[in-house]
Amino acid sequence: MEDFFTEIFVFLLKARSDILLELLSHFSISAIKQPDSIYLSTQESFDALTNHAHASRPDVFIELASGGQREVIFIESKIGSTEGCEQLKRYAEHLNHLQSVDSGVLLFITRDYEPKDQNKILERCDRTKIKFLQLRWHEVYRFLAKYQEDFLLKEIKSFMEINNMSQSGQFSAIDILALTNFSNARSIMDETLLGEVFEEFRVTCGSVSEIGTASTQLRQHNRYIISSDRRGDIWVGLGYWMNPSITTNYPEVGILIETVPNSTDREQILKAMLEVVQSSSGKWRGHNLTQAKNWSSITQVKPLHTFLSEENHVASVKTYFKETLADVHSIRQKYSHLPWKF
């Protein structure tokens, strides 16, 4: 969904340079007011710098030139997801390393509230050259509202309205309902994760995080999970994955096995993960298993609504969690040569 919106938004900016220039001016993004040339792209990739775990590809690349002045703007957009591991810091450092660039701007636009510390993001950058800015999509929506609608602009605004990108500072009926029932929902999630499931996770994975860390995971990654020790090359997470980008989607319940981008054993880890996916008849799904340097994982999940027909939801989810842990145990035995380290 995010990639789709990025493409149509950039298409609008290419078709309507007046909107692009006014956008850059209105939010004080660019120092160049009347560029001689403008280049926009959504397909610009940058090889990993020496201190980076993997390559980078910002959502939008903009290059402005005026006389002898050249400015590059990276835009990273988030609608339902959150920032990847040091994603913004990497982008800022790429801007800082660009040759023949007088200034660079890293613009982070989010639907949800996700404040960032620019001191950490620009830690290794020349701050006289590089700046970091944040916007919310509801601000962009209000900016677009002043323009007379053509077909494209109408479709973009409609998309933003449907995906909760148009309003801020207002609780919707869904928000109020969620707040009213959150304590009860969290109590049920805790009940499914604690007790015998918690102990079985400890036995299977060697360690288990405190249940309190699940709230941190919910805030930072839209997932409510317990996890194994994450200091090694491979870690396991068990619990609930939310789908905040589409409010009508049910959360997913299940387990994740993930590996870090810079593992020295990455090739054999990905090979094993791919074998698990291919031999599971659709039970396991792979994510980023063919990318050279990225967070890669396999997941086994079910939509929460598949448990609603059961008489005892807690017992049914617990049973499923135990089944997924049994699968992880089998995977660990079959691929014991991998650096599990837990």
For residue range 163-188, list pLDDT tens digits in order: 889 987 677 787 888 889 999 999 99
Spatial contact of 274 and 262, defined as CB atoms under 8 Å apart: no
Q: Return the SS3 of 153.
A: helix
Residues 127 and 116: their CA atoms lie apart, in Å, by: 16
- How large is the average pLDDT for residues 231-253? 84
Spatial contact of 85 and 52, defined as CB atoms under 8 Å apart: no
Domain count for the chain: 2
Name the residue among 226, 252, 221 with its Cα closest to residue 238: 226
Per the domain annotation, does 167 fall within a domain? no
Q: Residues 245, 309: one domain?
A: yes
**CATH number, domain containing residue 258:** 3.30.930
Residues 183 and 78: their CA atoms lie apart, in Å, by: 27
CA angle (239, 173, 134) in 5-degree steps: 70
pTM tops 0.85, yes or no: no
Residues 252 and 258: their CA atoms lie apart, in Å, by: 17
Q: Residues 327, 199: one domain?
A: yes
Q: Which domain-ending residue is among 162, 187, 208?
A: 162
pLDDT of residue 93: 98
Kindly report the average pLDDT of the chain as a whole number. Answer: 93
pLDDT of residue 245: 54
Residues 170 and 32: their CA atoms lie apart, in Å, by: 35
Cβ–Cβ contacts within 10 Å for residue 289, how many?
18
Structure tokens at 20: 């692009």
Q: Residues 135, 218: one domain?
A: no
pLDDT 10s digits, 277-316: 999 999 999 999 987 678 999 999 999 999 999 999 999 9
* pLDDT of 23 above 90: yes
Q: Residues 8, 141: one domain?
A: yes
Per the domain annotation, does 232 fall within a domain? yes
pLDDT 10s digits, 26-77: 999 998 999 999 999 998 999 999 999 888 999 999 999 999 999 999 999 9
Work out the pLDDT band at 248, boundaries 50, 70, 90.
low
Residue-number span of the structural domain to which 317 is assigned: 173-334
More confident residue, 5 or 3: 5
Q: Residues 324, 181: one domain?
A: yes
Per the domain annotation, does 184 fall within a domain? yes
Which has the minimum average pLDDT: 189-198, 217-226, 307-316?
Answer: 217-226
Among 137-141, 230-234, 287-291, the range of highest mean pLDDT? 137-141
Q: Which domain-ending residue is among 110, 139, 162?
A: 162
Q: Which domain-ending residue is among 141, 162, 183?
A: 162
Q: Residues 69, 186: one domain?
A: no
Q: Residues 254, 282: one domain?
A: yes
Spatial contact of 163 and 79, defined as CB atoms under 8 Å apart: yes
More confident residue, 36 or 262: 36
Task: Taking the CA atoms of 134, 138, 140 and 143 in sequence, report the sign of the dihedral they define.
Answer: negative
| Partners of 109 in the β-ladder | 77, 135
Per the domain annotation, does 225 fall within a domain? yes
Residues 180 and 174: their CA atoms lie apart, in Å, by: 10
Per the domain annotation, does 79 fall within a domain? yes
**CATH number, domain containing residue 51:** 3.40.1350
- Express the helix, strand and coil content of the chain in percent, nearest 5 each: 40, 20, 40
Residue 86, CA distances (Å) to 47, 49, 78, 120, 192 in order: 15, 13, 15, 10, 32
Q: Percentage of residues in the chain with pLDDT exceeding 90?
A: 80
More confident residue, 144 or 232: 144
Q: Residues 178, 246: one domain?
A: yes
Q: Residues 220, 119: one domain?
A: no
pLDDT of residue 201: 98
Spatial strand order in the sheet of 223-227: 223-227, 234-241, 252-259, 296-303, 285-287
The amino acid at 234: I
Q: Residues 289, 270: one domain?
A: yes
Per the domain annotation, does 157 fall within a domain? yes
Total residues found in the chain within this entry = 342
Q: Residues 182, 318: one domain?
A: yes
Per the domain annotation, does 103 fall within a domain? yes
Per the domain annotation, does 342 fall within a domain? no
Q: Residues 59, 89: one domain?
A: yes
